[in-house]
Chains A and B, each alone.
Chain A
Amino acid sequence: MIYLSIHEEKCTGCRACEFACSYHHRRLFNPRLASLHILRNEREGTISIVPWNNLTQKEKEQRLPCDGCHGEPEPLCVKFCFTGAIAKKDEEL
């Protein structure tokens, strides 16, 4: 588990973080397994970044829990966020 610094206004909704997260967990690509969820509202042009802690219980059951990218040199959702919408906070749990 890591603390993420979220800047939704910078998010483009490309979902690379979800793809990268599923790669960390299973070495395959499936955004529905990711420990975070990107929600796009295309009517309003808004995007929500929902990290593991803020997911609903139901979503947590369907997805894989965030392990802070254990074993990776850096959290992959941070590495593959091209705009800085997801950054790592210094403190860790």
Chain B
Amino acid sequence: MRNYKVEDRAYCFGGKILRVDLTSGQIWTEQTRKYSPRFLGGRGIDNWILYNEVKSWVTPFEPANRLLFGTGVLVGTLALTAARHTVDAKSPMTGGIGSANSCGHFSAELKFAGYDHIVFQGRSRRPAYLWIDDNRVKLMDASHIWGKTTYVTDDIIKEELADDEIQVACIGPAGENLVRSACVMTNRARAAGRCGLGAVMGSKNLKAVAVRGSGSIEVAYPERFMEAVNKAWEKLRASESATIRSKWGTYRTPSLYNERGHLGARYFQDDYVSPKIIKSVDPAIFKRDYEVRRLGYTCCPISCSHFYRVTDGPYKGIACEGFEVNDLLNFVARFEIDYPPAIIALHSLCSEYGLDQDNASCAIGWAFECYQRGIITDADTDGLSLEWGDHRAVAELLRKVAYREGLGDLLAEGAKRAAEVVGRESEDFAVHVKGQDSIESMRGSGRAWALGCVVSTRGGTHTRGANLIEGMQVPSEVCQKIWGIPKLDGPLSYENKASLVVYYERLQAVLDSLGICMFCSNWAGVELLDPDDLAELYSAATATEIDGEGLMVVGERIHNIEKAFNVLHAGFTRRDDQPPKRFIEEPIKSGPMRGEKLTKEGWDRMLDEYYELHDWDKETGWQKRKCLEALDLKSVADDLEKAGRLPQCN
């Protein structure tokens, strides 16, 4: 066991930030305490470093971009679900903040090696991977694994380092080929997806990070900490939503999703999928015929992941972890695929190529609609027929995207950029937010859901302020206590939705910085962990006393850093906080939500309220000096002022 001096590291931290200059090969460390507790850890510290070190004129694939890995503060302890790591860089999708969060055993291992974060800069001359063996850190040649899939990469690295328990974060061919939907994979199945961070890793000629950590994590007040852990465990055990998620994973109620308008059928041409298709992919079928076991990562009692095996048919032999609710949106709804083994296979293919299935399948969905409309033809697809329901065509296009072959080269850019090339009004139905493809349909699925997705700092995605709470039955006194609103008015009302979104933006920033999963927080159900519960875990672990309200202020600070990054780097304004055109102009065509769509008037009212709650300027959508100074971010206000992007209304 490696010994360490407690005074070298704060309680509950690895203590160091590992810095790697891939151009020079230089490796050094700095103290994490320089940044914490002001930005907690994980996403908070990552994005503060990114904000300070990447200039606004740097493009995502330049060596000057940073690529950061961050562990959450509570990772490496028994805090439930503390298995999360964050990957951050300037995003090739939006030109703004790129931030992805994933679970796995990688995060805790990195912390046991003594590192809370890794910051990569520069570009290696040859393919390389970083090998962290406690405090022995070196860059290794990766020429022999360049071009290999993530599965093979994981195998080779473990074999050559002669340790099957090493944790590996790596990219596949998609990242190497700078596909904008490339992700960073750990444990063969866990993706730090969206934002194209795998492509940033590829641009640095960095194939993988392998880590073995044998150190310990010590908390400040062990008994108090364990009391907080026990309390959290009791809450989870008593929670119906956590119990259901444990049994079924994230994929459990497809017909409910369908009836509520969550499923963008045929690339959002409708938000209702034929019940016959939904029936053919019933979760019970996957459980009965394909599920091998439940899987979970570091100290996670929810274990929403499962391992699947296909034992017959054309996909016989496929065995992989995965299959999430995203597969329902991405493959069942988008392409009307109704053959369960094909869905498992498509999920596995994405993992192998290192493709974020959300972004990749959206661009492919857009191509299918172009084909349906005759905007592209067989001559553009190398003879591939893009017929709805054809899983083989989707599989082939995923391969083409990962290797940038033929039409795949165009789709590797994402739907927005591809539509700009193809033109012929295909821009009108390309569904994206701030340049990044969106998997979320927003017409009938709830206004807080839509607002949270659209204003998200990372460009779309439902893991910032979007939430499903608005569809739940919550007593008014609880609404008042948690969100400061009198009641929930149902998903389709525009009232009070901004308050929900702002609350969850703050909470999500806290969760991503502590390394805790949103599924055990009150994002998933009001009975689950609230900011006070998280604050008690954090205080007992680090000896930095803070309450729930204080944590949420830090969450707001982290969110504001990302917002400022977007304003400075991508020039986003209120105009970029508008929903995809399709969701305002085209109503849902069938099903119980038929006729539903977003209204411009309702949206603008909700957006005004949202800016007011953040104390941002309603006209531009930009941050005000007084808001930033109240969050101890004066330097950010100064930067925005210098760039002429501080509103004149303070």
Contact = CB atoms under 8 A, between A and B. Distances in A.
A11 B214 CA distance: 23
For chain A, the bracket of interface size reads 20 to 34
B238 to A, nearest CB: 13
Contacts of B226: 23
Nearest to A8: B293
B582 interface: no
Interface in B186-208: 187-189
Interface string B282-321: 0000000000111111111101000101000000000101
A16 B301 contact: yes
Contacts of A12: 293-296, 300, 303
A42 B292 CA distance: 12
Contacts of B76: 29
Contacts of B307: 45
A39 to B, nearest CB: 8
A40 B297 CA distance: 11
A11 B301 CA distance: 11
A29 B122 CA distance: 35
B269 to A, nearest CB: 37
Interface residues of B, number: 38
B221 to A, nearest CB: 10
B137 interface: no
Contacts of A54: none
Contacts of A45: 292-293, 295, 307, 309, 319, 321
A27 B226 CA distance: 10
A14 B296 contact: yes
Contacts, number: 91
B78 A80 contact: yes
Contact of B298 (A15, A28, A44, A83): A15
B216 interface: yes
B299 A27 contact: no
A9 B293 CA distance: 7
A20 interface: yes
Given A23-B222, A33-B1, A83 B78 contact: no
A30 B1 contact: yes
Contacts of A44: 319
Nearest to B78: A19
A60 interface: no
Given A9-B293, A12-B296, A14-B299, A33 B321 contact: no
B77 interface: yes
A44 B292 CA distance: 10
B533 interface: no
B548 interface: no
Interface string A36-65: 000110111101000000000000000000
A88 interface: no
B293 A29 contact: no
Contact of B215 (A9, A20, A30): A30
Interface in A55-92: 80, 82-83
4 pairs of A and B residues whose beta carbons are closest in the complex: A45-B307, A82-B301, A12-B296, A30-B216
